[in-house]
Amino acid sequence: MNPTSLSHHLRAFLILAVLLVSATAGAQTFEELSDDDKRRLIQLLSAGNAAFDRGDHEEACETYQEAADMAEFPEVYYRLATCRERLDELEEAIAAYETYLEMEPDARDRQRIEREMERLEQLVAARSRALLKITSEPVGSVVHDADGQELGPTPLELELTPGEHLFTLEHEGYRPFPREIELEGGDSREIHIDLERIARLRVISDPEGAQVQNKETGEPLGTTPLSMEVEPGEYHLVLTLRNAPPQERQVVVERGQWVDLDVTMLRDEGSRWQGRVGMTSLGLSALAGVGSGVLWYMTEEKIAAANGYSRSHPDHSRAELQDMERDALQFRQYTLITMASAGALFVVGGTFLILQRGRSVANENSMSLDLSFTDGGAYGAVRFDF
């Protein structure tokens, strides 16, 4: 008999010995199997050992599993656990080791197997997690999960479960950026996200408080100082302020740019002066009108007093009556002068207000052009007023 044949016979003998020894402890003993099942079981164990020895662990696992399904023997589960471990099926390997120790509680290598199970459990736990580091530009972007919960600012390190994850990065002045990533157990990855800067237009005026309007659409945009997010494009704006000519500006905003538009509202001092003179004149005209009314009343009282005195004192002297008439005439002159002053002031005030209105209409017809641009954060403007 050659050595190879002897080795095969010896292996078969050892397998048979294991089966006979385990027959008293298994849920299904070797003796309870039919003769065909016994032969089949021995063949499976021999085939599994041969596949394991030549490194075909997948075939060995299938063979040992088929043998374990026929009858429960500790050695089969030990071999099965070893195969599962070689195939990186860690949870299945742990389960097979546990079955082996349950069937062989007094196994001589129990402590070694328990240490091996602990090591595999640590690997399984590590594979149930994934590490992800998120960095961004700009730094400090806030990361939110799929439920909108804030996770923290970048750079951010997260410990996650394997699978798909959706994150959204947000930062003031930048567009929110959603990012979906799929992680596998044991992954340790890093992702970098560049956020897109939002185009922004800021309009300021000197003095402040000018009304800003989109000339093309007629939409009021607000009051200066005004800052707003805009889509890239060209904008034609009109700024209006009381006692100042309207100012028109054209500005081009590129994607991601922040553009500052500074407008000086030139107040019409001449118009303001005319308005003040006009209103003052009208006010004085009103006061003069009231004064003339009072003087008219006093003049009539003095004339009535003189007439009454002449009737009640027939023996009066001519000089006394002339004094009273002279006094009444003087008050009538004061009344006429006051009425004339009121009329003159009214005409002057009305004239100045008409002149102010004319200047305002002229201002409304004024035109201006402003070209604004930015480059790398710098701002420049070229303005023409005519």
Do both 27 and 44 map to the same domain? yes
Name the helix (H) or strand (E) containing 116: helix 110-127
The three-class DSSP label of residue 107 is coil
Please state the domain count of the chain. Answer: 4
In a domain, 369, yes or no: no
Are residues 100 and 138 part of one domain?
no
Q: Give the pLDDT confidence score for residue 365 in this predicted structure.
A: 45
Residue 10 and residue 92 share a domain: yes
Query: CA 131, CA 158: separation in Å to the nearest integer?
Result: 6
Q: Evaluate whether residue 8 is within a structural domain.
A: yes
Are 122 and 7 members of one domain? yes
119 and 13 part of one domain: yes
Distances (CA, A) of 59 to 39, 67, 72: 19, 12, 19
Which structural domain, as residue segments, surrounds residue 167? 130-194
- Within a domain: residue 381? no
CATH at 233: 2.60.40.1120
Would you give per-residue pLDDT tens digits along the chain (386 residues)?
A: 333 333 343 344 334 334 433 433 344 566 677 888 888 888 888 888 898 888 888 898 898 888 888 877 788 888 899 898 888 888 898 998 898 899 888 888 899 989 999 998 888 877 778 899 999 999 999 999 999 999 999 999 998 888 899 999 999 888 899 999 998 877 888 999 999 888 888 898 888 889 999 988 889 989 999 888 888 888 999 999 887 888 888 988 888 788 888 888 876 555 566 667 778 877 887 887 888 788 788 877 777 776 776 666 666 666 666 777 777 777 778 788 888 887 887 888 778 677 666 655 544 444 443 444 444 433 344 343 43
Q: Are residues 185 and 139 in the same domain?
A: yes
The identity of residue 380, as a single letter, is G
Rounded to whole angstroms, the Cα distance separating 141 from 134 reads 10
- Nearest Cα neighbor of 278 from 380, 356, 189, 223 is 356
Among candidate residues 176, 194, 212, the one where a domain is terminated: 194
Looking at the structure, tell me whether residues 100 and 174 fall in a common domain: no
Q: Which tokens go with 143?
A: 């990361």
pLDDT at site 144? 95
Domain assignment present for residue 320? The answer is yes
Q: Are residues 273 and 263 in the same domain?
A: no
61 domain-assigned: yes
DSSP assignment of 148-205 equals: --EEEESSEEEEE-SEEEEEEEE-TTB--EEEEEEE-TT-EEEEEEEPPBPPEEEEEE
